[in-house]
Structure 1
Amino acid sequence: MAEKLNVYIWDMDETLILLKSLINGTYAEPFEGVKNVKDGIEIGKMWENQILQISDDHFFYEQIENCNQPYLDVLCHYDDGRDLSGYDFSGDGLGPPVDDANKRKLAYRFRIIAHKYRKGLHSLLDEEMLKFWDNLFNLTDNYTDQWLSAARTCLEQCENGVEELPACSNSIGSNDGRSVGSRHVNVLVTSGSLIPSLVKCLLFRLDNMFTCENVYSSWEVGKLQCFSWIKERFNGSNVQFCVIGDGWEECKAAEAMRWPFVKIDPQPNSSYHRFPGLTLADLGHYISVIYGNADPEKDL
């Protein structure tokens, strides 16, 4: 009998990372003075500046901010494979209207973005910036009681045994040649726009947990549409899905898909899950409730 494939669908903000609640102070306030609210706001703003700077400097965000797409491969069939080593991205006239020529220009940029994402931040930043980034991550992790590192540990547990997907399938509805022996795969569905979300993955050390093909933006299409694409992509009798997030939209979308939903709440003393704390075994129990596994631990 073929092994089950568990597809874990993660939200990003206030789930795997903390950013908005740092910037607006809502993360620190419930700690009643134990954590300095101003320190959290300062940390959040440093992250915000880094995300926007790297998005603009290395990922064409200033050019394509108004051309958000739900995933990088969406325009793959417009890419003719042209050698881009001497291509003039600043002078190719990308802009309205949204015709085939401009879709090809956008596809070229997405190819470069995917290439840079796979190479990682170490190929983009100098030693000084890498040290700043490393210190900022550790500062944030300490301020949030190891939220970032604990979330990453949980992702690593889920990622055990995963095989990489092809770079471009040209079809979101395919099974991508995945072997039935694969056990777990992590997919990210964020409500943020695509390019800054990819940069967040890099900055928050999540890029080796999520391939660029496994990052979706629900900014315009909504989470239910993204979940539907993911179901088509991984469709099979042995596939089980589990959604992990903090918001109502992913909760409602998971309910519509009849998938288990694991609620994350950054607030202390919450009755929901937090990091550190959430484990692969916890996710297995949620899956077993919906899919009726006789022994949820056995599938883990």
Structure 2
Amino acid sequence: MNQITNVYVWDMDETLILLKSLLNGTYAEAFSGVKDAPKGVEIGKMWEKHILQISDDFFFYEQIENCNKPFLEALSKYDDGQDLSDYDFKQDGFSPPHDDLNKKKLAYRHRVIANKYKQGLHNIFDQEMMDLWDALYNMTDEYTDRWLSSARAVLEQCISGNEDPTFCLPASSGIVNSNRTGSSHINVLVTSGSLIPSLVKCLLFRLDSLISYENVYSSWDVGKLQCFEWIKGRFNNRNVRFCAIGDGWEECEAAQAMKWPFIKIDLRPSSSHRFPGLSLKTVGFYFSVVYGNPDSENDEE
């Protein structure tokens, strides 16, 4: 039996997480007055402030904000593997990488960021800070009727290949092989935001165990179609199937250009294409419309 690989290509904002729609009130508006819009704005501002602060304080964002790359390994060829345990990132004279020396310095920073991402928030913050993050996450999840936790549950189901949560076995690689189905499942993120804050969002919104840093792409400079083409180049063979999930026109057009199925996320509470609401069964339907339903693959039924 040939192994099928399903690659789920996710948007971030207003798909896996809610932030912009909290800040501008569009999430609350979709509920026709039922939701407390000012509270949503307040929650969004708290996230925005902390995401930027953590990006600056722990992930070099203040230094490299103007050096956005589409993925962390974009400059890996410039990294000579130097031991960075005693490296002084504040005094190394880094400036926007117009030459190979500064590209190497940026590659060093990317390596440190990748390691911090792999280690998780517990290796950055003490328990008191972790408790504060948990409280903000839970408050946001409650306000959004479990949007965050429901989206995370679907990511777990995607990489396990089963809607039964007892089969959900998140791996740090973001890739799970399912012996039950003879298939593998990969979550990839393509966000229109800049790379470093997007990685920080993955950590803060508890997505890091389900999406590895290698699978986080920023389309800020290159566009979503280019990112989709890179993803296809990484994973493509005749047994790989792709599906894009997002709320915007750009990922929709890019998916059409790639001839991938596309699931449009809708904030409205009456929609099934939202969280909670979207299920692995629905995602499987979109796969089958484009790719058919191979006899060897039954994990979406």
TM over 0.5, shorter chain: yes
Q: In the alignment, is the contact (CA less than 8 A) between 1:284 and 1:297 conserved in 2?
A: no
Identity of aligned residues (%): 68
Give 2:167's aligned residue. Answer: none
SS in 2 for 1:150: helix
Q: Which residue of 1 aligns with 2:88?
A: 88
Runs of 4 or more, structure 1, over 3 Å off, are: 161-166, 294-297
Q: Does 1:152 align with 2:152?
A: yes
Distance 1:41 1:61 in 2: 24
Q: State the TM-score, normalized to the length of structure 1.
A: 0.91
Relative to structure 1, is the Cα distance of residues 65 and 266 closer, same or farther in structure 2, using a 3 angstrom cutoff?
Answer: same
The residue matched to 1:31 in structure 2 has which SS? coil
Give the superposition deviation at 1:96: 3.8
Give how far 1:292 is off. Answer: 1.7
| Number of the residue aligned with 1:64 | 64
Aligned partner letter, 2:71 = Y
Task: State the Cα distance separating 1:299 from its structure 2 match.
Answer: 3.8
Match of 2:79 in 1: 79
**CA offsets per residue over residues 94-130 of structure 1, 9 Å max, x none?**
1145111000000000000000001111111122221
Distance 2:171 2:19 in 1: 30
Cross-structure match for 1:129:
129
Comparing 15-24 with 97-106, greater Cα deviation is found at: 97-106
The 3-state SS of whatever aligns with 1:57 is helix
Find out whether 1:261 has 2:258 as its counterpart: no
What does residue range 198-217 of structure 1 map to in structure 2 within 5 Å? 198-217=199-218
For 1:215-234, list aligned pairs within 5 A.
215-234=216-235
The residue that corresponds to 1:177 in the other structure is none
Q: Is the 8 A contact 1:15 1:246 kept in 2?
A: yes
Distance 2:281 2:274 in 1: 14
Q: Deviation at 1:136?
A: 0.3
Judge conservation of contact 1:188–1:214 (CA < 8 Å) in 2.
Answer: yes
Aligned in 2, Cα 1:84/1:154: closer, same or farther, shift over 3 Å? Answer: same
Q: Distance in 2 between matches of 1:14 and 1:204?
A: 13
Q: Which runs of 5+ in 1 are unaligned?
A: 167-179
Structure 1 residue 281, shift from structure 2 partner: 1.2
Give unmatched runs, 5+ long, in structure 2: 162-169, 175-180
Conservation of the 8 A alpha-carbon contact between 2:183 and 2:297: no
Question: CA offset at residue 291 of structure 1?
Answer: 0.7
- Per the TM alignment, residue 163 of structure 1 is displaced from its structure 2 partner at its CA by 6.8
3-state DSSP of counterpart to 1:244:
strand
**Count of residues paired in the alignment:** 287
Partners of 1:135 and 1:163 in 2: how far apart?
Answer: 25
Alignment pair present for 1:32 and 2:20: no
The 3-state SS of whatever aligns with 1:200 is helix
Q: 1:205 to 1:182 in 2, by over 3 A?
A: same
Q: 1-side partners of 2:50 and 2:203: how far apart? A: 11
Shift of 1:181: 5.2
Q: Is the 8 A contact 1:5 1:240 kept in 2?
A: yes
The answer to whether the Cα contact below 8 Å between 1:281 and 1:297 also exists between their aligned partners in 2 is no
Give the alignment's TM-score, normalised by structure 2. 0.91
CA–CA separation in structure 1 for the residues paired with 2:125 and 2:171? 28
Give the Cα separation in 2 of the matches to 1:295 and 1:277. 27
Give the match's secondary structure for 2:208. Answer: coil
Could you tell me how far 1:2 is from its partner in structure 2?
Answer: 1.2
What residue in structure 2 maps to residue 44 of structure 1?
44
Mapped partners of 1:130, 1:163: distance in 2: 21
One-letter amino acid of the structure 2 residue matched with residue 292 of structure 1: G
Tell me if the contact between 1:117 and 1:198 (Cα under 8 Å) persists in the aligned partners: yes
Q: After TM superposition, give the deviation of residue 269 of structure 1 in Å.
A: 2.1
Please report the RMSD computed on the Cα atoms of aligned residues, expressed in angstroms: 1.9
Asked whether the equivalents of residues 4 and 299 of structure 1 are also in contact (C-alpha less than 8 Å), the reply is no
Q: CA–CA distance in 1 between the matches of 2:82 and 2:247?
A: 42
What whole-Å deviation, never above 9, does each CA across 1:159-200 have from its counterpart, x for those lacking one?
A: 11787659xxxxxxxxxxxxx954211000000000000000
- Taking the aligned partners of 1:94 and 1:123, their CA distance within structure 2 comes to 26
Offset, 1:294: 5.0
Aligned residue type for 1:253 = A
